[in-house]
Chain A
Amino acid sequence: MAISKPLIDITNVTALAGEKEILHNVSLALDAGTCHVLMGPNGAGKSTLGHVIMADPEYTLSSGSIAFEGKDITDMPTYKRALAGIFLSFQAPVEVPGVPLYSFLRTICAARPELKMTARQFRKHVHELADELEMDEAYLTRDLGVGFSGGEKKKVEMLQLLLLQPKLAILDETDSGLDVDALSVVSKGIDAYRKSCDGTLLIITHNTRILERVSVDRVHVMVDGRLVDEGNASLISRIDAHGFEAYTQE
């Protein structure tokens, strides 16, 4: 029986920000179609891992490798990783004055031949997604992120997730700073993503509320740049009850 390769295979990755080592010998493999949660206290290196997977130039890999769909992408630039099907939702999305959201969405869609659609189909699809995310359509004509509230910025991230349907979506604390209603909308967005394309998720969070509507396959715990525990979804409730003390005292 052939053993299928994981969608992404992170092997012994050690990463630095400047001269400071943030991730220490991290290995993590995610199978296609599965949902993983990465938890850990503040400053554990969770977001760094997400950014390293996406080749953020802020970080350098001193050792280790990353393979995506069986292909070594360790030296691949960020934009090629994105086009290959990896998506990173930002904790604090940037503002890009001069680029209206609608133009931006059209451009990132046009860069992916697999998402080819007519202008009319695109318009209809984007408006449907905006409706689904309870997003004010007036935002589509405004410059990307400029003057958006924290909640609206996160909805724009969800809109892109649903539009691009990446093979792997890394959601970096998408729940941070959201009120209960916005959190519900984002949860619905995650649900819709999984249903629409059976995508793979790596949810980085330290808030269990966003996970209430998501069916989680594996939970990973990171402390001080190291993966220190792994388990099934029951680990979430354990951490919810006891926090990370057990790991930080080790």
Chain B
Amino acid sequence: MKTDAMTTLEHVNAAPAQTWNWLRINERTVEVPAIANISNGADLQKYASEKIVPEFRDLLSGAGAQAGAWIDLAADTVKEVRIAAGTSQEVLLCLGENEHVARVFVQVEAGASAHICVLCFGQNLSAHNVRVLVEEGAVCHYDMLIAKNVTGRHLESFSARVEKDARLQMHQYVLGSTLSLSGTYVELVGDNAQLEQVIRYMGEGKDELDMTSTCIHYGKNTKSEIVATGVLDDEAKKVLRATIDLSRGCKGAEGSENETVVCAGKGVINKTLPVILCSEDDVAGNHGATIGSFSPEQLFYLATRGISPDEAIDLLKESLLEEAQAHLPKEAQDYIEKWSERG
């Protein structure tokens, strides 16, 4: 169904609350192969709706409507997984070799446990749109890795609805890719629902990283924590938009977002848009960002352990790789090992 023509997806990774357009941080566009008979991005949504499993139709796509619709239509892999109440299951997806674009629906029923892992190794364009329903008391782990030395582009879209007493834990490792676009959208709809999101990233050379994370609190006493840590070297560019929306009725909710980025290269461009939106009185929202390089105190400390200033940046990069490797489930680790051996 695809042609060699290209189409432009608009409003990709858009921040819910936008700032000055001249800052060029609100959202972005991306060129993708056009899908036959669909002339522009806006029309994609019309055709994509029939590809969506009914239970997921009112859940937004993390990277935006056009990006989500394009992935849904271009998908060469489709997974529809229902994890029965009280059971647990792993869902592993490896993109970039035989499969390139995936549309995934996971329903984690009450009290069930899911571990979704998406690995991206593509040397061209790969993409995935994962939608998850985490029902009452269920737990869902979502891990995503864009491997180091990947030369292609990757588009990630993830969205989830988390119900009462349910928990979503996300670990995203963006360690390679010339252009990586990552958009996540999470609704904490039930009371006591929780989100823990860890984003680790690394940009080198002329890598471009564009990430959006949005969490909307609806339920009472809901909790969200978004922690992003990264290192940018050479002429890498990065945008992170993190939004916590404490909407009316989410009494007792707590949300925090924090980013620490080390800019090692002189040509690095780093942009961060941390936003807390609040429509309820009895809530707590915090955000913070630490941007810079190692402080003289940190460099001295590392040097007293035998690490030179040049090696300090390598330590950060190595730490990211090691942590990613150690965190992923065994099956994913084995896959990465085989991929690395093939060079």
Contact = CB atoms under 8 A, between A and B. Distances in A.
A79 B319 contact: no
Interface string B266-285: 00000000000000000000
A143 B304 CA distance: 18
A95 B315 CA distance: 14
Q: State which size class the interface on A falls in.
A: 20 to 34
Contacts of B308: 77, 79
Contacts of B155: none
B298 A94 contact: yes
A77 B308 CA distance: 9
A54 B295 CA distance: 17
A108 interface: yes
B300 interface: yes
A56 B300 contact: yes
Contacts of A57: 296, 300
Contacts of A97: 229, 260, 290
B302 A112 contact: no
A79 B322 contact: no
A160 B262 contact: no
A214 interface: no
Contact of A103 (B262, B294, B305, B323): B323
Interface in A65-123: 77-79, 82-83, 87-88, 90, 93-100, 102-104, 106-108, 111-112
Q: State which size class the interface on B falls in.
A: 20 to 34
Contact of B305 (A58, A77, A102, A108): A108
B77 to A, nearest CB: 32
Given A57-B296, A98-B231, A78 B304 contact: yes
Interface in B305-321: 305-308, 311, 315-316, 318-320
B231 A108 contact: no
B318 A78 contact: no
Contacts of A102: 322
Interface in B17-36: none
Nearest to A55: B303
Contact of A79 (B229, B230, B290, B307): B307
Contact of B318 (A90, A103, A164): A103
A98 B320 contact: yes
B304 A98 contact: no
Nearest to A56: B300
A82 B304 contact: yes
Interface string B204-215: 000000000000
B301 interface: yes
B304 A99 contact: no
| Residue from B200, B296, B301 having most chain A Cβ neighbours under 10 A | B301
A98 B294 CA distance: 11
Contact of B307 (A56, A58, A98, A107): A107
A78 B319 contact: no
Nearest to B305: A108
A82 B306 CA distance: 5
A98 B319 CA distance: 7
A142 to B, nearest CB: 11
Contacts of B300: 56-58, 78
B316 A99 contact: yes
B307 A108 contact: yes
A58 B303 CA distance: 13
Given A79-B306, A98-B229, A98-B230, A107 B315 contact: yes
A146 to B, nearest CB: 9
Contacts of A98: 200, 229-231, 260, 262, 316, 319-320
Contacts of B4: none
A90 B315 CA distance: 20
A171 B31 CA distance: 58
B55 interface: no
B137 to A, nearest CB: 25
Contact of B306 (A58, A93, A94, A112): A112
B303 A79 contact: yes
Contacts of B315: 99, 103-104, 107
Contacts of A103: 315, 318-319, 322-323
Contacts of A143: 229
A8 to B, nearest CB: 15
Nearest to A93: B301
B341 interface: no
Nearest to B202: A98
Contacts of B58: none
Interface in B220-264: 229-231, 260, 262
A90 B305 CA distance: 11
27 contacts: A54-B304, A58-B296, A58-B300, A78-B300, A78-B304, A79-B306, A79-B308, A79-B311, A83-B306, A87-B304, A94-B297, A95-B298, A96-B301, A97-B229, A98-B230, A98-B319, A99-B319, A100-B322, A102-B322, A103-B319, A107-B315, A107-B318, A108-B305, A108-B307, A111-B307, A143-B229, A164-B305
Interface of A: 54, 56-58, 77-79, 82-83, 87-88, 90, 93-100, 102-104, 106-108, 111-112, 143, 160, 164
Please name the 3 residue pairs, one residue from A and one from B, whose CB atoms are nearest each other, closest first.
Answer: A78-B303, A103-B319, A82-B306
